[in-house]
Amino acid sequence: MVRDVVIIMKKKYALGSIILSGLIFCSVLASTTPKAAAETGIGKDVFKVVVTLYDITNSTKDIVTLVNVGDQIKTKEFNPQDPKNEGMDKVSYTITFPNLAVEDGQAYKVCTVSAENLKMKCQEGKNSPLNRPEFVDVKVS
């Protein structure tokens, strides 16, 4: 009977040490796994915003697109008179911010101004935690 108790206690301690070893292994593995972080703006990790202007017609005038992230602003002009743009009903621009660290959830703003009426239309977005460009669609008309 004493022998049976000793065997049962050895099994309990063996199971406890297996569980403890498993927990230690999991915590070590979790601490060495890379965590999600902000886009650093270094190398391939550059903050990008893809702006698509659509619903362009023959009467569309020049359009200036402004993208603001943090304290930086980049602009792009669409000129419908340019022969490369002739007949296009949509156009996309990739605007990059190579030397700017952008945190997950940080706000950015995309504005367009048409030469036709000089009214500014803006859309605000937040940096996705996914490592991909942000996409903004702007209806021109």
pLDDT, one tens digit per residue, over 80-94 is 878 887 778 889 999
pLDDT given at position 60: 85
Report the percentage of the chain scoring pLDDT > 90: 41
Burial status of residue 119 (CB atoms within 10 A of its CB: 0-12, 13-18, 19 or more): exposed
pTM of the complete model: 0.66
Phi first, then psi, for residue 54 (nearest 5°) are -135, 170
Q: Which residues are 125's β-sheet partners?
A: 108
The whole-chain average pLDDT of the chain stands at 78
